[in-house]
Amino acid sequence: MSRVYNFSAGPAALPFEVLQQIQDDIPDWQGTGMTVMECSHRSKEFVELAARSERNLRTLLSIPDDYSVLFPQGGATLQMAMTPLNLAAADETADYVVTGSWGKKALGEAGKFCNANGIADSSDRNFTYIPDQASWTRSDKAAYLHYVPNETIAGVEFHFVPDSEVPLVADMSSTILSRPIDVSKFGAIYAGAQKNIGPAGITLVIVRKDLLDRVRPNNPHLMTWKSYADSDSMTNTPPTFAWYVADLVFQWLLKQGGVEAMARVNERKASKLYAAIDNSSFYSNPVAKDCRSWMNVPFILADNALDAAFLDESRAAGLTNLKGHRSVGGMRASIYNAVNEEAVDALIGFMADFEQRHG
Ligand SMILES: *Cc1c(COP(=O)(O)O)cnc(C)c1O
């Protein structure tokens, strides 16, 4: 067996210990004589899994009791529609901060369902900075304020929580569980699973309970947060296998020392990779230093004629999925929780070696 160092932006690497546990569990999960995929979601074993995963997530993120934890399907993209449908009436306004492609997409989706107002936009410099909060043109009476704490494509991360007098909604798909967060500052948080939680197919929503009643009348059942809250996310058949893997990842995170420990490792991984980039004239990262992402590190080569060679040679060295998003070009290393320090060291070593041979 040979495993590569996988820097995919998503679906992304999973912890090796979790993969081994899955392999052990496949033929006979918890003495049921079945794989978890074949078990009823109403079985005692699965109901216990669901309860344990929520309990462990609440511990990991210190989620207060007045918040519900939901596990719908549809990914972060469906939440871009569900957010206005659950929090705003059609004639109400919602404020959107656009610091990257996902924020822009969320604004566009919300515009179909309410008066979505872009209050800040950093596209003038190709999404490489966060506009000063003082310049945000907030509405007088917004139903909520939406932002994307980590923009996965350009690698721009808020290292602070914005001020807001209205409920703050955050798409945390690519930063959730990478560090502690103060959940009480948010009205709702959502995240697709396939970056830092588990396989694609399950989505996480954390929402303050008093907001659940804002939902529009006649909203589709499966697009209503309250339906999930009222049924422990068993409003219909949940994505059981993806949920099972997420449960294993939460247990793995607790074993690593929780999100505080992950944050220390993640900060170290990111700072050594940015240092390697900054200390060379061969590689560069265009993002303002105060908002560089801990999770997604784009970098370009001074001579883009070498891009293909970089990708070929890195793949041959066991480092995969380093091609940057087409809107940014160059390379991108996604270094989520499951990408350990050894993988980052291997990448830094390869980069130095490549520079020496081609620089
Ligand atoms: C990956 C990603 C999405 C899209 O998630 P899906 O689960 O594919 O819908 C949305 N927002 C952010 C910040 C992402 O990183």
Q: Which of 195, 226, 269, 323 is catalytic?
A: 195
How many distinct structural domains can be found in the chain?
2
Report CA torsion sign: 283, 287, 293, 294: positive
Distance CA 79, CA 172 (A): 11
Structure tokens at 77: 């993209």
Domain shared by 72 and 217, yes or no: yes
Q: Are residues 84 and 224 in the same domain?
A: yes
Residues 220 and 299 in one domain: no
102 is catalytic: yes
What one-letter code names the amino acid at 216? R
The span from the CA of 312 to the CA of 335, in Å, is: 20
Ligand 1 atom nearest residue 102's Cα: 11
Q: How does pLDDT run along the chain (359 residues), one tens digit per residue?
A: 789 999 999 999 999 999 999 999 999 999 999 999 999 999 999 999 999 999 999 999 999 999 999 999 999 999 999 999 999 999 999 999 999 999 999 999 999 999 999 999 999 999 999 999 999 999 999 999 999 999 999 999 999 999 999 999 999 999 999 999 999 999 999 999 999 999 999 999 999 999 999 999 999 999 999 999 999 999 999 999 999 999 999 999 999 999 999 999 999 999 999 999 999 999 999 999 999 999 999 999 999 999 999 999 999 999 999 999 998 899 999 999 999 999 999 999 999 999 999 98
Q: 304: domain range?
A: 257-358
Give the number of the atom of ligand 1 that is nearest the alpha carbon of residue 174. Answer: 15
Instruction: Using the mean position of ligand 1's atoms as its centre, give its distance from the Cα of residue 20 in Å.
Output: 27
**Residue 70 one-letter amino acid:** L
Residue nearest to atom 13 of ligand 1 (CA): 173
Confirm or reject: Cβ of 109 under 6 Å from ligand 1.
no
The answer for residues whose C-beta is within 8 angstroms of residue 31's C-beta and 6 or more apart is none
From the CB of residue 40, how many other CB atoms can be counted at a distance below 10 Å? 13
pTM over 0.85? The answer is yes
| Residue 150 exposed, middle or buried by CB count within 10 Å (0-12, 13-18, 19+) | buried
Same domain, 315 and 241: no
Q: Is 243 a catalytic residue?
A: no
Is 155 found in the same domain as 41? yes
Please indicate, yes or no, whether residues 216 and 76 belong to a single structural domain of this protein: yes
Q: Which residues contact 182 (CB under 8 A, 6 or more apart)?
A: 161
